[in-house]
């Protein structure tokens, strides 16, 4: 079974600590560049919030988006990994942004 869900979780797990990525970026990595909202919903339904570091996924402009366990927790998790947050936005998000390689292959 090759669920989109599973691939989203796989991709999210690959985000290194201290880096972030966007919902749209994950959608692109899935070869579905316009499924960003879907990605958001899937992460919301994330059954394993600790194992899948969904707190490292933010909006395109650096806004945090949301978090199952509360937005404040997302902030703390990111800060503990070295990502600065100011006014619910990632400071200098570009510097922390993690982009998936074009030749990325899902197992």
Partner DNA sequence: CCTATGGCTTCGG
Partner DNA sequence: GCCGAAGCCATAG
Query: Which residues of this protein are in contact with DNA, per CB under 7 A?
Result: 3-5, 22-25, 32, 34-41, 43-44, 46, 49, 54-55, 57, 59-61, 65-68
Which one from 35, 54, 58, 90 is the annotated catalytic residue? Answer: 54
The residue among 34 and 72 lying less far from DNA, judged by its C-beta, is: 34
Q: Hey, what are 38's tokens? A: 């879907």
Q: Hey, what are 96's tokens? A: 């922390």
Q: Does residue 66 have an active-site annotation?
A: no
The residue among 34 and 103 lying less far from DNA, judged by its C-beta, is: 34
Look at the alpha carbons of 80, 101, 27, 95 in this order and tell me if their dihedral is positive or negative: positive
Q: Closest approach of Cβ 3 to DNA, in Å?
A: 4
Q: Closest approach of Cβ 106 to DNA, in Å?
A: 13
Q: Closest approach of Cβ 59 to DNA, in Å?
A: 3
Q: What SS3 class is residue 38?
A: helix
Between CA 89 and CA 107 the distance in angstroms is 33
The residue among 6 and 104 lying less far from DNA, judged by its C-beta, is: 6
Contact partners, residue 4, CB within 8 Å, separation at least 6 = 30, 32, 35, 38, 42
- Catalytic sites, residue numbers: 54
């Amino acid at each position: 079974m090759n669920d989109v869900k599973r691939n989203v979780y796989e991709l999210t797990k690959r985000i290194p600590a201290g880096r972030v990525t966007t919902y749209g970026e994950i959608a692109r990595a899935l070869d579905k560049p316009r499924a960003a909202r879907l990605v958001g919903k899937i992460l919301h339904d994330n059954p394993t919030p600790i194992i899948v570091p969904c707190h490292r996924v933010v909006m395109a402009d650096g806004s945090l988006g949301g978090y199952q366990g509360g937005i404040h927790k997302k902030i703390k998790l990111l800060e503990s990994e070295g990502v600065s947050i100011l006014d619910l936005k990632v400071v200098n998000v570009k510097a922390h942004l993690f982009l998936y390689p074009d030749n990325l292959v899902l197992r």
